[in-house]
Structure formats: structure tokens, C-alpha cells
Amino acid sequence: MVKVIVNGKEVEVSEGSVVLDAIKKAGYSVPTLCFFKGVYNEAACRMCLVELPNGKLVPSCAYPVSDGLKITTDSERLRKTRRMVLELILAVHKMKCYQCARKGGFCLLLDFAKEFGVEGIPVCAECPLHGEDCLLVKGEPCLGFLTIAGCGSPCTREGTPCFGCRGPVTREDVIETAVKRFIEHGVDLRDLHSRMKLFWSSFPQFKHVFDLVLKYEKKYMGEKK
């Protein structure tokens, strides 16, 4: 057995274990996205980084334990690093939340976005409505496609459209997809504009978002004609 000290707590794990095993045995946790024991453990996402006494950050899912190893699982530096890693992951992640099988409370990216305060994922990721149940499909001018997630989507759970309480997503690809969906489902864009102005006019990023909405409305309405 090997002794490992996790946040000052000593635990024993089998030789050949990784730091993540010691963390779990000590009763702590770190965020993981790519690690599935026995299936995939290539340390690709870097969300599970922990800190060694020498200041080095290592992936807990792949770093081997050694006798007397000391690790820290939570610090300001680690939180900032994990947030940066998550932002990089989301920067290349296609936000097709409306058709994702993990929408409605099963998305780890959404959970981490809430935990680390990262903007980018829309309410559609947490909406429990699928397919023909989607309010947008029913012609409701739901702002969920353009709204920052994190509220648990109470509006859509109660059968009423999202009014955008948390403010707009600023990612251009998300905005473009949203506009395409609005047009596809025949949503009254004037009604949409009114709701955006009513709920978002006080947000600093409102003009940027509204201009992008108009830009893609012009593009896709022209294509529709």
C-alpha cells in the first residue's frame, strides 16, 4: 500500500493507483470530463488538475501515486485554471443543445459552466422538452436559444417560454443557430425583438447581441425568400 496525503488527510491506496483514486478515498472530488475508468483515461480534458507541493499542476486521473505524495485539490489557482480549461473546451464545442441527448439536466459541461461561472451554453441545454414538445416547435417565442443557462429552466418546465432572465449568450455561433431555428419554426421576429429589448436592454452586451440577431435574420430571411 502507498500513503498519499490529500488536502492534509492521509489515505492508503494500492500501488499502481492514480491520484484520482486517492482523492476519492479521502472523500474529496475533482471535476472530470474525459475520465471513464477502464474505458478511457488519456487525461485529455485537464479539468481534474491538482497541485503538488512544488507548484506543478498534474492531471489526477493519470498521475501515479508515490509514497508520501502530497496533493491539493482546491485553490484559487486551480479554480482559475479549470475555468480557463473549460472556456477553451467550450470555445470549440458545437452548441447543438436543442438536439443533444444530454439536455434536460444530464450535461456535465452545463454543470461545470454553472460551477465555474462560464457563459456560453444556452438554456436549451437544461430544458427538459424534446422534439415536438419543444415550445419553439409549437410557435412560442422562447428566448431559451439565446439565454445564458444556469436557472434550471423553470419557465419551460412549467410549460411557458423562457423570457431570458439571465441575459443573452454572446457567442456568435450560438446566436446564428438560434436565429435559423426561429425562422425555421415561423416565430414572429418582431415579438422576439420586443422581448429582447424588454429583458436585455440594460445588459452591456445587448447591442452586440441584437446586431448579430439582425445580421443573421437578414441573411436567413433572404435565403428563405
CB-based contact 163:151 (threshold 8 Å): no
Helices 189-200, 172-184: axis angle to 10 degrees equals 140
The predicted-structure confidence for 120-178, as pLDDT tens digits, reads as follows: 899 999 998 888 888 888 888 899 999 999 888 888 888 888 999 999 999 999 999 99
Q: Answer with the residue of higher pLDDT: 58 or 189.
A: 58
pLDDT band at 38 (very low <50, low <70, confident <90, very high): low
User: Of 78-87, 92-101, 127-136, which has the strongest mean pLDDT?
Assistant: 78-87
Question: Which whole number is the average pLDDT over 90-117?
Answer: 89
187: closest CA among 168, 207, 162, 169?
A: 162
> Cβ(17)–Cβ(58) under 8 Å?
no
In the chain, the domains with their CATH numbers are 2-83 (3.10.20.740), 95-224 (no CATH)
Q: What is the pTM of this model?
A: 0.84
For Cα atoms 68, 76, 7, give the angle at the middle one, nearest 5 degrees: 25
Reading the block at residue 86, the C-alpha cell is: 473549460
